[in-house]
Amino acid sequence: MPAEAVLNQRYELIAQQGSGGMSVIYRAVDRLLGRTVAIKVLRPSLTSDPAFLEKFQQEARSIANLTHPNIVTVYDVGRDVGAKDVTHYIVMEMVDGQDLKKIIKAGAPLPVDRVIDLSIQIAAGLGYAHRSGLVHADVKPQNILVTPTDVVKVTDFGIAQALTDTQPQQRVDVVWGSPHYFAPEQARGEQPGPAADVYAIGIVMFEMLTGRLPYSGASQQELALAHIKERIPMVTEFNPTVPEALAKIVFKLMSKEPGARYRMAGQLEQILTEYRDKSREYTVRNANMPGMPAAPGLPTVPSTPPVITPGGIQPPQSRPPGVGLPPAAPPASEPTARFSAAPAAPQPYHPRQPGIPAAPGATTPPQPLEQRYSVNAPAAAGSGVPMPPAVARGDSGAFAVQYGNSQPIREYEEDEGPDYVTIALAVLAIIAVLGLCPLYLAVLSARF
């Protein structure tokens, strides 16, 4: 079709923008509304089947009802009857930008933050379609448009799905134009569902993070078998800088069984959004810890990535490089220094027993364990300060004493002396028993 053609006396084709296995895309002008649009003209090989055309028009009308910032808006669906043939077309909004495949070829692997932001938008658009009962069935970077401000627009809804439903024999010629992104169930010839779109998002994320596809093959059949049988590769095998938690998310998206993935793209959007927000929050928080400010312009480096758990995402523990590092472990040749609990410098001793102030400047010299943890131990030599009193009593009557704030606790029995109350109660009990004896004898005599 020449670029200067006019469809239905309304849409003037200006220039060809691209082409694929199922359509050719033109930049056009809507003469009625005076706006620039994109028109996708279906290839004649598809329009010869009335069943496909009917199914396609149904899908197109459903897509026209989708209003989402990450989905290309469909304005019109129609056909132009010419002298020789009939041209079927879709009129869509014109997106200024380029498709994601070109971005990947030019700059992959992309920065992790950008991959997450783009993936969230892809999942948001597809999730909205899934909630509306629509499946894309052909998610790939060529069908994902990105504006200069990194706004994602998912396009090409409906064509692959309509073809899959009505012309299964055409899968090899048309739908298999993108077998690198097919879910295993699609490769087996099964009906694709939302989980198939989720799988394709995982392949796209893998490609953005590594600059390569996870599977390769000399033919479409080999690629299909790779999706079905080959081991799922980890992103970190090709790009070790990717956080492990993000690599695990991509791994889950590429699961062979649909039930092992996220059920719909909206769930993936929530997971990635939470991951992004938690990562940023903890990176900023750890970079500005009280008393440990990050140097100006110094980036923060995550020491451990977020962890995916059933309860949610555990955020990473981040720190500025070289700031807040734990002290290095002492050499193995110094076991005494490594395991000693004694402080490096003498600390003033503050007794816990009220009424006995600590001597000015007095410290507690090292003492044997028997003296440090015994209630009857003498005062520290030369200090005049007795050992701390018992701080807790157990159920068995044993006392425990704690020395300082981090020393172990030792139990001991305290010598309390005679208990006069107990003795008095025992004497009274004996007298009462003796007083009852004559009464008991009288009862026996009366009875017998």
The model's pLDDT over 144-155, given as tens digits with 9 standing for 90+, comes to 999 999 999 999
Shortest CA distance to 374 belongs to which of 362, 389, 396, 391? 389
DSSP string, 102-152: HHHHHHPSPPHHHHHHHHHHHHHHHHHHHHTT---S---GGGEEE-TT--E
The answer to whether residue 28 scores a pLDDT higher than 60 is yes
Neighbouring C-alpha atoms within 13 Å toward the C-beta of 54: 6
Residues written for the chain: 448
Residue matched to tokens 């044993």 = 398
Shortest CA distance to 316 belongs to which of 328, 326, 324, 308? 308
Burial class (CB in 10 A: 0-12, 13-18, 19+), 331: exposed
Query: What is the pLDDT confidence band of residue 410, given thresholds at 50, 70 and 90?
Result: very low
Query: What is the pLDDT confidence band of residue 20, given thresholds at 50, 70 and 90?
Result: confident
The answer to whether residue 265 scores a pLDDT higher than 80 is yes
Burial class (CB in 10 A: 0-12, 13-18, 19+), 125: buried
Name the least confident of 35-39, 140-144, 314-318: 314-318
The answer to whether residue 398 scores a pLDDT higher than 60 is no
Q: What would the mean pLDDT of 90-117 be, rounded to a whole number?
A: 95
CA distance 368 to 291: 39
Share of the chain above pLDDT 90, in %: 40
Q: What would the mean pLDDT of 156-182 be, rounded to a whole number?
A: 58
Query: What is the pLDDT confidence band of residue 417, given thresholds at 50, 70 and 90?
Result: low
The whole model's pTM is what? 0.62
Beta strands, E only, 140-206: 144-146, 152-154
Q: What is the pLDDT of residue 164?
A: 54
Reported as a single tens digit per residue, the pLDDT across 344-385 is: 454 444 444 455 555 555 444 544 444 444 444 444 444 444
User: Over the chain, what is the mean pLDDT?
Assistant: 75
Who has greater pLDDT, 396 or 203? 203
Name the least confident of 159-163, 170-174, 264-268: 170-174
Query: What is the pLDDT confidence band of residue 433, given thresholds at 50, 70 and 90?
Result: confident
Share of the chain above pLDDT 70, in %: 64
Q: What is the pLDDT of residue 396?
A: 40
The continuous run of DSSP H or E covering 89 comes out as: strand 86-93
Q: What would the mean pLDDT of 129-136 be, rounded to a whole number?
A: 91
Who has greater pLDDT, 447 or 63? 63
Shortest CA distance to 96 belongs to which of 124, 72, 116? 72
Q: What is the pLDDT of residue 17?
A: 87
On whether the CB atoms of residues 353 and 386 are closer than 8 A, the answer is yes
Structure-token pair, residue 385? 């300060």
Q: Would you call 166 helix, strand, or coil by DSSP?
A: helix
Torsion of Cα atoms, 191 then 195 then 196 then 197, to 10°: 130
Q: What is the pLDDT of residue 55?
A: 73
Q: What would the mean pLDDT of 209-215 be, rounded to a whole number?
A: 96
CA 250-254-259 angle, 5° bins = 115
Give, in order, the Cα–Cα distances in Å from 195 to each of 176, 269, 311. 18, 13, 23
Q: What would the mean pLDDT of 105-111 be, rounded to a whole number?
A: 95
Q: What is the pLDDT of residue 1?
A: 63
Who has greater pLDDT, 44 or 177? 44
Q: What is the pLDDT of residue 325?
A: 45
Who has greater pLDDT, 412 or 290? 290
The answer to whether residue 297 scores a pLDDT higher than 90 is no
Give, in order, the Cα–Cα distances in Å from 150 to each of 92, 115, 252. 19, 11, 26
Q: Which domains, from first to last, does the chain contain?
A: 6-93 (3.30.200.20), 98-287 (1.10.510.10)
Reported as a single tens digit per residue, the pLDDT across 232-249 is: 999 999 999 999 999 999
Who has greater pLDDT, 366 or 129? 129
Query: What is the pLDDT confidence band of residue 437, given thresholds at 50, 70 and 90?
Result: confident
**Which of the residues 117, 138, 156, 197 is marked catalytic?**
138
Q: What would the mean pLDDT of 311-326 be, rounded to a whole number?
A: 50
Can 173 be counted among the known catalytic residues? no
Structure-token pair, residue 11? 């849409």
Structure-token pair, residue 167? 């012309």
Cβ atoms within 10 Å of 386's Cβ, excluding its own: 14
Type of residue numbered 223: L
